[in-house]
Amino acid sequence: MGQLQLFTHTDPKPILRKTKKRILLWRFEGQVSYEFIAGLCGPSYAASMLLEGETNDNDISLTVKEDEAAAGVFVGAKVVFPIVFAVESGSPRFSWKHGWSVKWKKSFSISPKPEIDLLKMLIDLIKKLMQEAKKSSDIKEGEDLEGEPKENKEKKPEDRKPKVSVKSWAMFDQVENQFGQNKPGEIAPEPKLKISVNLVPLFPELVAIDKGLKTLWGGLSLGPNFYFIVPVHIRLKELAFDGTAVENLTTQGKQISGSLSGSGQALEQVHAKVDHTVGLTFGTSFFLSISVCKCFSFDPESPMLRLDEIFGWELTTNPHCTGFRNAIGSETSPENPIDSCDTGSVTVVLDP
């Protein structure tokens, strides 16, 4: 529920403008352009919670239970190069009225669209930079490594390159019992894209330890993690029962309170309006992984340093409101439970 799609596309910009060149009875036409396409598919999110409470005169008090939310997102960016190439053949014509003329007919045409995936290029660039760092390190071809078995010293050392791994281009996160834990009336799953860079191959001493652990069906890896984080903030905005809004709505932790006129009557249906805001921020951490015999492992990771927490900076959309309704006492949704209430647009929010 609450899917958001952001899409940007530039019209093709000419690199080589459309031209026609004629050679005898052949005419050649060609054009090369470029266009930039970027998109955010999602985040699609789903959220559910149980509200349990009572009324006292016009006061209403509710407790949130069994709340959970999940969100997923896929991002992409690419540059496309539309190419047009065509060949026309001419056939001479003669008439007494107009004399000689040439009738042109398209004989060959091709329109390829090669493209460059910018996200993949980012990963390849990281790999290239790490390889250059490896070349400038103290590891020399044919150099012995301390701690290696004697038989390994006679062999040509394997090429040692830092390894870059990406967790996924599609990001997903699910949280439970987190309503009101960070901000009042809010639950926020945070899909992440994780890029890990293993620096072990850059250091001879660590390579020796890694090889020693591999003889015990284990290994060693350490280095930085880089995170692209897409928080989805889902906030309870309004609450109503049988079409009557709860006034002075306040939330503290999992407690919701307010006033509801005419609450002495039996209530049948609950209505809720939820704001969801999509953000983008970045983070980094340092990881260490040691394993032995494929059974025992030690995998600590340092606390993540995030831009939104350090500088209070986060790229976000404006809030997008969605309305929900359900029958009181029912844990299943009605046939048409969702009512859209407004739309959102991209903005930059500084929220320390």
Q: Would you say 54 and 42 are in contact if contact means Cβ atoms under 8 Å apart? A: no
DSSP for 52-93, please give it: EEEEETTEEEEEEEEEEEEEEEEEEEEEE--EEEEEEEEEEE
pLDDT at 225: 93
pLDDT at 245: 85
Please compute the mean of the pLDDT values over residues 208-215 and round it to a whole number: 90
274-284 tens-digit pLDDT: 888 888 889 99
Please compute the mean of the pLDDT values over residues 301-328 and round it to a whole number: 84
Tokens representing 276? 């969801």
Least reliable range by pLDDT among 59-63, 98-102, 295-299: 98-102
Query: Per-residue pLDDT for 2 more than 50?
Result: no
Query: Per-residue pLDDT for 117 more than 50?
Result: yes
pLDDT at 349: 40
Q: Would you say 31 and 17 are in contact if contact means Cβ atoms under 8 Å apart? A: yes
**Distance (Å, rounded) from C-alpha 232 to C-alpha 238?**
18
**CA atoms 259, 261, 262, 267: torsion sign:** negative
| 153 Cβ contact partners less than 8 Å away, ≥ 6 residues apart | 144, 145
Q: Would you say 208 and 246 are in contact if contact means Cβ atoms under 8 Å apart? A: no
Query: Per-residue pLDDT for 163 more than 70?
Result: no
Please compute the mean of the pLDDT values over residues 170-195 and round it to a whole number: 87
**Distance (Å, rounded) from C-alpha 131 to C-alpha 129?**
5
**Distance (Å, rounded) from C-alpha 256 to C-alpha 254?**
7
DSSP for 143-192, please give it: ---TT--HHHHTSPPPP---EEEE--SEEEEEEES-TTSSSTTEE----E
DSSP for 2-23, please give it: ---EEEEEPPPEEEEEEEEEEE
**Distance (Å, rounded) from C-alpha 205 to C-alpha 196?**
21
Q: Would you say 290 and 256 are in contact if contact means Cβ atoms under 8 Å apart? A: no
pLDDT at 152: 47
Confidence of residue 339 (pLDDT cuts 50, 70, 90): low
Please compute the mean of the pLDDT values over residues 259-271 and round it to a whole number: 76
Query: What are the Cα distances from residue 101, in Å, to 25, 29, 104?
Result: 11, 20, 10
> Average pLDDT of the chain?
76
Query: Per-residue pLDDT for 224 more than 90?
Result: yes
Tell me the three-class secondary structure of 88-151, residue by residue. EEEEEEEECCCEEEEEEEEEEEECCCCEEEHHHHHHHHHHHHHHHHHHCCCCCCCCCCCCCCHH
**Distance (Å, rounded) from C-alpha 206 to C-alpha 235?**
47
Q: Map out the domains of the chain as residue ranges.
A: 5-350
pLDDT at 170: 61
